[in-house]
Amino acid sequence: MIIKRMLLNYIQVSRYTSTSSVLTTGDKLKQTRVFTSQDLVDYSNVSFDANPLHLDPEFARDAGFHDKLVPGMLVASLFPRIIASHFPGAVYASQTLHFRLPVYVNKEITGEVEATSIRQLKKKYIAKFTTRCFDNTGVIVLDGEAMAVLPTLCPTQG
Q: How would residue 15 be classed by pLDDT, with cut points 50, 70 and 90? A: low
Tell me which of 32-36, 72-76, 152-156 is least confident: 152-156
**Each residue's pLDDT tens digit, 40-59:** 999 999 999 999 999 999 99
Q: Quick check: is 62 in a domain?
A: no
* Residue 8 CB contacts under 8 Å (≥ 6 apart), including other chains: none
Instruction: Tell me how many domains the chain contains.
Output: 1
Q: Is residue 81 part of a domain?
A: yes
Q: What is the pTM of this model?
A: 0.86
- Containing structural domain, residue 86: 2-36+69-150
Q: Give the contacts of 21 (CB within 8 A, at least 6 positions apart).
A: 154, 155
| Region for residue 19 given its phi and psi (left: phi exceeds 0; alpha: psi -120 to 50; beta: otherwise) | alpha
Say how many C-beta atoms besides its own lie within 10 A of residue 54's C-beta: 23
Is there a domain that residue 46 lies in? Answer: no
How high is the mean pLDDT of the chain?
A: 89
**CATH number assigned to the domain comprising residue 16:** 3.10.129.10
Of the CA atoms within 13 Å of residue 88, those in its CB half-sphere come to 3
pLDDT at 10 over 50: no
In this structure, is residue 92 part of a structural domain? yes
